Structure 1
Amino acid sequence: MGAQESYPVDVEAIRADFPILERKVGGDVTTPGEGPDDTEPLVYLDNAATSHTPEPVVEAITDYYRGYNSNVHRGIHQLSQEASVAYEQAHDRVAEFIGAEGREEIIFTKNTTEAENLVAYAWGLNELGPGDNVVLTQMEHHASLVTWQQLCKKTGAEARFIRVDEDGYLDMDHAAELIDEDTRMISVVHVSNTLGTVNPVAELTAMAHEVGAYSFVDAAQSVPNRPVDVGEIDADFLAFSGHKMLGPTGIGVLYGKQHLLEEMEPYLYGGEMIRRVTYEDAEWEDLPWKFEAGTPVIEQGIALVAAIDYLEDVGLEAIQTHEELLAEYAHGRLTERGDVEIYGPPGDDRGGLVAFNVEGVHAHDLSSILNDYAVAIRAGDHCTQPLHDTLGIAASARASFYLYNTKAEVDKLLEAVDAAAELFG
């Protein structure tokens, strides 16, 4: 742990809330949850993919199933009433967390990807056509890039991409050239899950509004680790995922300005989102239920509140500082080696992750060797294949940090990198 280290958060106390961090892993996969005998303590550096879940969030899930498991908005009995109140209050809590005006602006989805698709099809399919354009960036996650790319193919609109410069920043002069009177939407990632770049989303949103366009912010890598206020950004839409912020899988959030959500047609049809239906037609329920067809993500939404409470108890500003400290430390240690190429901005100007390649070692081989040392990282294109093509690489290794990680774990990563470099010579 490195108890002598001073961190912006109480890492030792935080780690006590995550039993999974006490696991020992490494070597071949055996029975799920049980590593082979020759194992070492887990060093989990794959938080940009999925974070771990603290005890209060697990308790919120079990409390629901043990105490008031029932469908919402459909029963007069007490369990249904209790579940409905908790689920509705979850929307209120999320709205408060990101600075939305109320629950009407908070739609629960499965993940950021579904939120992106919801807007693309419920808004874009009706609003885009030949002559229009959607502006994205070269560093977009596939959830944004592929969704808008395919929607543009369906509608005849044009997809444009803001260049990334050699230091990993957006070329804002190029952005000004691309965003014009025919732009209807810009979709931009807040923090790149590959480069670690923190994009100027408020500035880009202002540029969109100047030409009458809307903005969609992919905040999957920012909401979990820094204060995000939709009012300050003035985003028209913003999305994030619970599983990247200590919450359960299967829950995502779409924020949308109320007047836009009211104008949009539903994306999914069925139960829950209907106010009145006949054999000939139907009327939609009020927001946000209009966009939550079928049995919704009840326990996931309730558990997301527990995750938000946990993050705010620790402090989002402190978590951001802690992540950036670890990223800068890892960036510096990797740079010292001389055989490592790191992608994105300098170590003191990035989010809490570092994507890199070791000379002579494929990223997948590196990840495999690191697993033998019980170090979990991501290897591949991180759902940013076009960006990797632009960088001229097939894959990269990515270490991503969170509130429970330490410098000692970064040192363990470097120890394993040493072993991989020696093995491949």
Structure 2
Amino acid sequence: MTAPGGDLPPHPGLAGGPVYLDYNATTPVDPRVAEAMAPYLTDFFGNPSSSHPYGETPRSALAQARTQVADLIGAEPGEIVFTASGSEADLLALRGVVLASGRPHPHVVTQATEHPAVLETCRALERLHGAHVTVLPVDRYGLVSPAALAAAFTEDTVLVSVMAANNETGALQPITELAALTHEHGAFFHCDAAQAVGKIPLDVKALGLDLLTVVGHKMYAPKGAAALYVRDGVELEPVVYGGDQEHGLRAGTENVALAVALGTAAQIAAAELADDSPARIAALRDDLHQRLVAALPARVHLNGPQTNRLPNTLNVSVEGVLGHELLLAVSEIAASTGSACHSGTHAPSPVLTAMGVDTARALGALRLSLGRWSTADGIETAAAALIRAVGAQ
């Protein structure tokens, strides 16, 4: 297999395995990231809050990582709060705003294709804290209408939470317009950008964001590394109480190694965005799509927008097949469907259902997501395997 991008060596974790097309689920840890974090698991073990020499290097590394993450999204280092997951960052943002608002019945607005980390937090806020939540519908492309948001505001609205990019279809929401509307009504805007950060350029100031979620394992850092951007001046209720770590919002001694990993991943992502790596990945994605359409005309249907989506994401339904059965028959690739399996019964993706996709088509969906180690050879192999398997069914 040729090296991705021409210079990067093949990833050791992918060697000899099926073609990996599940980058939206998780990414392999970049060896450069692993190398950067390793000393903080061994040599530089000190507590960054310690005043003695063992705390100096970890403290400096933590500050550098905060700067690296901030630089990737156009923030200030002091606006970055490290967390252990994107779900935790979402919780800190939503619960933090609602509880800090001091209102007896705060109103939160989100939308139907949000990640469960947001939707379930909203339900918990209703159940535990007297919040009222409005879930906006999406159109057939999975997009929120700014007009629908404008009509949803009440005098108690404190927060709007809309993701930057959908994890299944890659659909990009009109974040700038939605954030501007939110500020016109005196509320804060949170954006779960787990799937978008590092894949497309994002600038929190230009977008007008108050809060933004960053997730390490979606951008070649280990699982357990994430962050929340909190615009200076936004008050939040802490997610963990105790010490004054992470600006008092998340008590507990920081995991310096994972912070270093996230910072290094952010620095690499910024360099790749500058080198127009998204264009390379988008070209591979489109090649995969075109190969499938050419071999299976009238049977392959794109789910989501044609252009206004992540460069790495292809969600297609194959008419006449079930997505999970198709993937089981194709040992040459590793990918996902949008369906959920409960006790052996597969249900259509809630994302596709919210977009109005009928059940048969939704059950035939495949999410094929590319990334840093995707190659032209791999795409050719994956397409041929899928085409053969469809023909055999």
TM above 0.5: yes
Q: In structure 1, what is the equivalent of residue 371 of structure 2?
A: 402
Q: In structure 2, what is the equivalent of residue 361 of structure 1?
A: 321
Structure-to-structure mapping, 1:22-421, within 5 angstroms:
23-25=15-17, 42-74=18-50, 76=52, 78-101=53-76, 103-127=77-101, 132-260=106-234, 263-270=235-242, 272-273=243-244, 288-316=246-274, 318-336=276-294, 337=296, 338-346=298-306, 348-351=307-310, 352-370=312-330, 372-373=331-332, 375-381=333-339, 385-390=349-354, 391-393=357-359, 395=363, 396-421=365-390
The number of residue pairs the alignment matches comes to: 379
- Summarize the Cα distance change of 1:250–1:265 in structure 2 as closer, same or farther, 3 Å threshold: same
| 1:290-321 Cα deviation digits (max 9, x unpaired) | 12311222101012222222223333461222
Q: Which moved more, 1:329-338 or 1:204-213?
A: 329-338
- Summarize the Cα distance change of 1:333–1:134 in structure 2 as closer, same or farther, 3 Å threshold: farther
Letter in 2 for 1:388: L
Q: In structure 2, what is the equivalent of residue 20 of structure 1?
A: 13
Take 1:136 and 1:43, find their aligned partners in 2: how far apart are those partners? 35
- Partners of 1:128 and 1:155 within 8 A in 2: no
| 1:235-264 Cα deviation digits (max 9, x unpaired) | 01001101111111111110011211xx33
Take 1:176 and 1:344, find their aligned partners in 2: how far apart are those partners? 23
- Partners of 1:319 and 1:402 within 8 A in 2: no
Deviation at 1:354, TM superposition (A): 1.3
Take 1:335 and 1:182, find their aligned partners in 2: how far apart are those partners? 49
| 1:384-424 Cα deviation digits (max 9, x unpaired) | 95323333436532111113212332222222222321232
The runs of 5 or more residues in structure 2 that have no matched partner are: 342-347
SS of the residue 2:43 aligns to: helix
The runs of 5 or more residues in structure 1 that have no matched partner are: 4-9, 26-41, 274-284
- Summarize the Cα distance change of 1:331–1:422 in structure 2 as closer, same or farther, 3 Å threshold: closer
- Summarize the Cα distance change of 1:176–1:354 in structure 2 as closer, same or farther, 3 Å threshold: same
SS of the residue 1:344 aligns to: coil
Deviation at 1:105, TM superposition (A): 0.9
Letter in 2 for 1:297: N
Deviation at 1:17, TM superposition (A): 5.8
With normalisation by structure 1, the TM-score equals: 0.82
Deviation at 1:130, TM superposition (A): 6.3
- Summarize the Cα distance change of 1:404–1:74 in structure 2 as closer, same or farther, 3 Å threshold: same
Take 1:386 and 1:397, find their aligned partners in 2: how far apart are those partners? 14
- Partners of 2:169 and 2:367 within 8 A in 1: no
Take 1:198 and 1:188, find their aligned partners in 2: how far apart are those partners? 10
| 1:99-122 Cα deviation digits (max 9, x unpaired) | 112x32110001111001112222
- Partners of 2:79 and 2:230 within 8 A in 1: yes
SS of the residue 1:135 aligns to: strand
Deviation at 1:50, TM superposition (A): 0.9
- Summarize the Cα distance change of 1:2–1:92 in structure 2 as closer, same or farther, 3 Å threshold: closer
- Summarize the Cα distance change of 1:265–1:137 in structure 2 as closer, same or farther, 3 Å threshold: closer
